[in-house]
Chain A
Amino acid sequence: MTLNAAITGVGMSDIGRKTNRPAMIHLAEAARRALECAGLTRADIDGISTYPGKADNSPGMSPLGTGEVRNALGLKTRWHSAVPDGPSQMAPIQVAAMAVATGQARHILCFRALTESSSQTATQRASIPGAGRARLGGWYSYLVPAKAMSASNWAGWMAQRYFHEFGMTREHLGLVATGQRAFAQQNPSAVMRTPLTMDDYLGARMISSPLGLFDCDVPIDGACVVIVSAADAAKDCAQAPLTIAAMGAALGSQETWDQRPDLTTMGAHDSAADMWARTDLKPADVDVLGLYDGFSIFVPFWLEAMGFCGHGEAKDFIADGNIGPGGRFPVNTGGGQLSGGRLHGFGLLHEVCTQLWGQAGGRQIDGAKVGACGMGGGFIAGSMLLRRD
């Protein structure tokens, strides 16, 4: 089964740390580049989709909503959506795919814009849920007030348990971080491009054990746009359409980070299993992977969730050189969020598409035809397979 939806264009703004450029300027730049990529004009855009929508509870985390983007860019849309809940940062792409497949729009501008880096001050961290509020509700009110304030704490729990059960070490995660840095050195838009050695990695300060500085992604300012088009409309675009071969969005456990019965798995396992159940493609068919790396530990989790290796086998899979430059299953070839900067998964999808179009320059994977993308960590997850026909 193939969905009647394709990705036809991607665009990323000039991203950076403390750019002090307004989010809308980043977004407009990304949108212009995505339209050029697709060979479309703004008059072709009739839908707009984002995650999570405008949110003021975490500074810089989601400064733009659909309405102000529609106003600012002068878009004439007949469909729009912002998805605060749902299958992770991938939700706006998946929802857009369903909208074009059901005839509600032809070309949908999906966006993520962040000014996390500029918004981060000594007293306000963008990454702390509910920062600035007097009293917290919801699932994180059982974590943040207990001083488990950061996702790095929550990911640290998962890593610690995984290390305990499967004998993974910091060196294995170091291979993820250094491998992605090596890719980033071939990517002019990555924010971290200086060489990163294993000694650098192991010597960096601890953030939340066993996760250190280079296990955490980099807050940035920037925007990324992905254009999702109906399959018939995609044929007229400048690039070969990247068909969405299958998606998965399952969440099989509670919405919180500490109660999943087995914390050596995450929502990724649920969503990826559903994705594979909806396609004839197999992991062996995949040429390039974009796997959510808010923290390095998510990469082995996603590898196992997507079936590239068995449960508990990721450390050997990584140590055998599968995922870095020259590997059979290269992961996050643009440097990922660990070295490229945190665009909340959109950057990973941008890179997969760039690879499938053969436009990745010195880091290009020869003949890449099938890409897998997984976004989210902990309980949230969305999975997608893209195929260049």
Chain B
Amino acid sequence: MRPLPELTPENTAFWTGGAEGKLMIAFCADCSHAIHPPQLICPKCWSQAIEFKPVTGTGAVYTFTVNHQPWMPDMPVPFALAVVDLDGAPGARVTAEVVNADPESVVIGQTMKIGFLNIDDIWFPQWEPAQ
């Protein structure tokens, strides 16, 4: 069983947007700064006008690792974890498991698209190769 994140005012849109198939990212309505992890205040201009907007759900692998160690009982391994620079949200990265691909096939720079895994009230982002 994987631990789940607690839902808070700043993160609920991110963790539940997958219910509608959307990757929701926090942006500052005043200066357009992308904020991830999401916050209630823009760290760039201190505006409290934060809005969540769906992004394209694509991006490029900045880096990755293939995890071989079962950190919990009955954790299937190996799996790849990708840190992806988001299209349309400069400076923001989303880290998620890679699915629907051989973990050893992941390379830096490759284009990924988002999918979601629903557990309880959380929709976890998952990356898969765009082609």
Q: A135-B3, A164-B108, A208-B65 are in contact. Are A148 and B122 (CB under 8 A)?
A: no
For residue B91, CB closer than 8 A to chain A, the reply is yes
CB-CB < 8 A to B125: which residues of A? 146
In the complex, the answer to whether B81 meets A148 with C-beta atoms within 8 Å is yes
In the complex, the answer to whether A153 meets B93 with C-beta atoms within 8 Å is no
Chain A nearest CB: distance from B83 CB in Å?
5
CB-CB < 8 A to B73: which residues of A? 122-123
User: Residues of A with Cβ closer than 8 Å to B?
Assistant: 122-123, 125, 128, 130-131, 133-137, 139, 141-150, 152-153, 156-161, 164, 205-211, 256, 258-259, 261, 263
In the complex, the answer to whether A134 meets B63 with C-beta atoms within 8 Å is no
CB-CB < 8 A to A148: which residues of B? 67, 81, 95
In the complex, the answer to whether A141 meets B65 with C-beta atoms within 8 Å is no
- Bound state CA distance, A159 and B62, in angstroms? 12
In the complex, the answer to whether A157 meets B5 with C-beta atoms within 8 Å is no
For residue B27, CB closer than 8 A to chain A, the reply is no
Q: Which of A139, A144, A206 contacts B37 (CB 8 A)?
A: A139
| Residues from 59 to 90 in B contacting A, C-beta threshold 8 Å | 62-69, 71-73, 75, 78-79, 81, 83
In the complex, the answer to whether A153 meets B65 with C-beta atoms within 8 Å is yes
Q: Which of B8, B66, B81 contacts A146 (CB 8 A)?
A: B81
Q: Which of A130, A135, A145, A160 contacts B64 (CB 8 A)?
A: A160
CB-CB < 8 A to A256: which residues of B? 37
In the complex, the answer to whether A145 meets B67 with C-beta atoms within 8 Å is no
| Residues from 91 to 121 in B contacting A, C-beta threshold 8 Å | 91-93, 95-97, 108
A-B contact pairs, 5 of them (CB 8 A): A142-B95, A146-B124, A146-B125, A150-B69, A259-B92
- Bound state CA distance, A83 and B124, in angstroms? 33
For residue B6, CB closer than 8 A to chain A, the reply is yes
Q: Which of A141, A142, A146 contacts B97 (CB 8 A)?
A: A146
Chain A nearest CB: distance from B92 CB in Å?
8
In the complex, the answer to whether B37 meets A142 with C-beta atoms within 8 Å is yes
In the complex, the answer to whether B66 meets A206 with C-beta atoms within 8 Å is yes
In the complex, the answer to whether A137 meets B95 with C-beta atoms within 8 Å is no
For residue B36, CB closer than 8 A to chain A, the reply is yes
In the complex, the answer to whether A206 meets B68 with C-beta atoms within 8 Å is yes
In the complex, the answer to whether A145 meets B72 with C-beta atoms within 8 Å is no
In the complex, the answer to whether B63 meets A145 with C-beta atoms within 8 Å is no
CB-CB < 8 A to A156: which residues of B? 65, 67
- Bound state CA distance, A144 and B95, in angstroms? 10
Q: Which of B65, B72, B75 contacts A157 (CB 8 A)?
A: B65
CB-CB < 8 A to B122: which residues of A? 145
In the complex, the answer to whether B81 meets A145 with C-beta atoms within 8 Å is no
CB-CB < 8 A to A261: which residues of B? 91
- Bound state CA distance, A146 and B14, in angstroms? 13
In the complex, the answer to whether A160 meets B108 with C-beta atoms within 8 Å is yes
In the complex, the answer to whether B96 meets A146 with C-beta atoms within 8 Å is yes
In the complex, the answer to whether B66 meets A136 with C-beta atoms within 8 Å is no
